[in-house]
Each structure stands twice: as structure tokens, then as C-alpha cells.
Amino acid sequence: MHAPAKRDTLLKQADDAIATARHLQSELCETMAAAHAQCRRMEHWETLQLGLYPAVAISLRVRARVSEQGVK
């Protein structure tokens, strides 16, 4: 009679361990998805910056030339 109780306890512990593992796996997936999204945002921002810096530099040069020529 002692063995079935031990078996039930072990099955309960196994079920709890599986539930915990699934929960942790879900949290890990969410964390990884958030990390990938952050990486994509950073890459997008870097791409924007690479395009913005030359555009701003060109714009400033054009404005400087216009102001040197006295054109408004």
C-alpha cells in the first residue's frame, strides 16, 4: 500500500516539473522574441542614421551655400 502513494507522489512531481518546464519555455520564447525585436529596432535605427547623416550634411552644405550667396 505504500508503493501506490509513492507512485502518485512521483507522478504529481513529474507533472509539476513538466508544467514548470513549459512555463519557463514560454517565458524564454517571449524573452527571445523581445530581444530579436530590440535587435531589429537597433538595426533599423542604425540604417536610418546612416541615411540621415549624409542627408543632413548635404542639407547643411546647401543652406550654407544659399546663405553665402544671399539667396533666401
Between CA 44 and CA 51 the distance in angstroms is 11
The reported pTM is 0.58
Q: How far is CA 8 from CA 4, 12, 19, 32, in A?
A: 6, 6, 16, 36
Total residue length of the chain: 72
* pLDDT, position 34: 97
Q: Is the pLDDT assigned to residue 7 strictly greater than 60?
A: yes
* pLDDT, position 65: 82
Of 71 and 39, the structure prediction assigns the larger pLDDT to 39
Count how many domains the chain has. 1
User: 23: domain range?
Assistant: 4-70
Q: pLDDT for 12-67, tens place per residue?
A: 999 999 999 999 999 999 999 999 999 999 999 888 888 888 888 888 888 888 78
Q: Backbone dihedral region of 70: left (phi > 0), alpha (psi from -120 to 50 degrees) or beta? A: left
